[in-house]
Chains A and B, each alone.
Chain A
Amino acid sequence: MAYPVIKGARYLLVHVPNMLINNGTTQTVERKKNPDSSYLKNIYKHIRSFEDAVAYPPNQVYIGNISPDELAKMESPWYENLVHGSSRFGRLGEIVPEDEFYAWMKVSDAFELVFLEKGFTDELKLKLKGNELFSENDISKLGSGFEIYEIEKLVRENSAEPLNMGEKLVGCIKRAHDIDVNLSAGVILENTAAKASAAIVLRKLIKDLGIEAESIDYIIETSEESCGDMNQRGGGNFAKAIGEIGGCINATGCDIRGFCAGPAHGLINAAALVQSGIFKNVVVLGGGAVAKLGMNGKDHVAKGLPVLEDMLGGFAVLVSENDGKNPIIRTDLIGKHNVGSGSSPQAVMQAIVADPLEKGGLKIGDIDKYSVEMQIPEITVPAGAGDVPQANYKMIAALAVKKGELDRRDLLDFARKHGMPGFAPTQGHIPSGVPFIGFAREWLLEDRIKRAMIIGKGSLFLGRMTNLFDGVSFILEQNKGKGEEKKQPGKEQIKFIMAEAFRELADNLLQEAGNWNGK
């Protein structure tokens, strides 16, 4: 059967400095444990403006306006070398400001839990009129808004989570149950933000690719949030809820989880669904993680940096039947870290990178670009976590040296040539392999590269059910066209041809036997 293809990928960033302060877990924990800390007092001085977030070079890469190779040549620290005059709109994505995002959260609210103040609602209606992703129907869904005293009362007396623009209260999110912690205001806020950010990027994917929302058969949601109640904490299903906002009336879907590796698992599953012929068009997507906002903020503030983790991320990828043009997913060369693979870096890279390549008769250098954990290094280095993409590239190169495929002296060159700098926010599943798919699709189509490997890794141990971690990979390759596939019949086609031939032979033999008896 024909390999499935990547028909397109789109990306989203949402600049949410107020959610960072109010709802990021580093900040909420600090507020509980150490309410008078200097960190909480000083964080306000380290908040970026929307303009600075848009002009931040890695964010411009994430939405497709700057290529990863160009970023590698740009002067760092990038937060001091902003690209002024940058657009919030990119070829592969978009950056949304926080006030507009509150409107998206309101539109994504199915249970009247999001309240926006009257005057603020009027401002949003004016601002979003004419927005190509926000419809007239969405504007009517915003309603007329609520009086500020109603919102203040909900925050003061009913444990509602405030929605701020700076010091100004502009709305709130109510809890959905008075006891169940799974439906608390904080969880509803996180889940609504994950849903809304995924819904925006889904709509963008549909619009930019010029496809009908009705043509999508199945949606796989791969974030790290959990929606459910006290009797089924992770019941789901974000995918269908997001599809509803996206207008995908012919789709159902499910949520696939694997910590940061969720998107890579989701894409492998989508490829299988398409290649088997079960579905024609499957969207794999994920929205942002509110909890992770400002995760390394203490180190950023202590070292005088802006708090760079002020962005929610999102992505959506369309996997479709082979069209003879778009890059294929080599479903016969899937890498996976098994339960018994072992945890040493060498064992991990052997399982995820080397094993699938060996199966396909390929060498480590035959992959032009590896997309690993693509976290922006200047977020993680000040916090002592190092340059994560670089660490991964060095491990891949070291494996190539060990296998005798690379000279030790060329290790760093290999990392430069086959890697790229991290350009995705530290939003868990968001930087894990998928940020490069948009560029990879274009570069494969332009014959700039022949193959790319997408790698997802997940920290399963954080859930305290196992000490294991996880990782999966798949290879994107140039499409050789439908014609070539026809020239080379697959296993199933050969089986069919053989069966037909045997049937014909059997018929002939029976006929001959009949003739003989008749004689």
Chain B
Amino acid sequence: MLSGKKVIIIGDRDGIPGPAIEECIKTAGAEIVFTATECFV
């Protein structure tokens, strides 16, 4: 589903952080163009 797609990742500190999502997305063959983790509190 994500193969060949470009992906922007916004993670959440108290949910799933950016680097953890990045590890999953990589295995699906997508190109990660930006990763960040945000804190809303």
Taking Cβ atoms with an 8 Å cutoff, the residues of A that contact B are: 260, 296, 342-345, 373, 375, 380, 383-386, 388, 391-392, 426, 428, 431, 457, 459, 461-462, 467, 469
Q: Which residues on A sit within 8 Å (CB–CB) of B12?
A: 385-386
Q: Are B13 and A457 in contact (CB under 8 A)?
A: yes
Contact yes or no, B17 A428, CB < 8 A: no
Q: Which 6 A-B pairs have the closest CB atoms?
A: A385-B40, A459-B39, A344-B20, A343-B19, A343-B17, A343-B20
| B41 engages A467 (CB within 8 Å) | no
Distance in Å from the Cβ of A339 to the closest Cβ of chain B? 13
Tell me which residues across on chain B come within 8 A of A342, comparing CB atoms.
Answer: 20
Measured as residues with beta carbon below 8 angstroms from the partner, the interface class of chain B is 10 to 19
Q: Does A457 contact B14, Cβ atoms closer than 8 Å?
A: yes
Of the candidates B14, B19, B23, the one whose C-beta lies within 8 Å of that of A373 is B14
Chain B residues in 8 Å Cβ range of A467: 18-19, 35, 37
Tell me the complex Cα distance, A373–B40, Å.
12
How many angstroms between the C-alpha atoms of A461 and B36 in the bound complex? 9
Complex contacts, B40 vs chain A, CB 8 Å:
296, 380, 383-385
Cβ-defined contact, A391 with B18, below 8 A: no
**Is B17 a contact of A385 with CB atoms below 8 Å?**
no
Which A residues are in CB contact (< 8 Å) with B20? Answer: 342-345
Chain B nearest Cβ from A511, distance in angstroms:
68
Which B residues touch A344, using CB under 8 A? Answer: 16-17, 20, 23
The 10 sampled A-B contact pairs (Cβ below 8 Å) are: A296-B40, A343-B18, A345-B15, A373-B41, A380-B41, A386-B15, A388-B14, A391-B15, A459-B39, A461-B37
Separation of A130 and B17 alpha carbons in the complex (Å): 50
Q: How far is the CB of B16 from chain A (nearest CB, A)?
A: 6
> B19 contacts which chain A residues (CB < 8 A)?
343, 467
CB distance from B15 to the nearest CB of A (A): 6
Task: Give the residue among B18, B35, B40 with the most A Cβ atoms within 10 A.
Answer: B40
A385 touches B16 (CB 8 A): no
Contact B41 A431 (CB under 8 A): yes
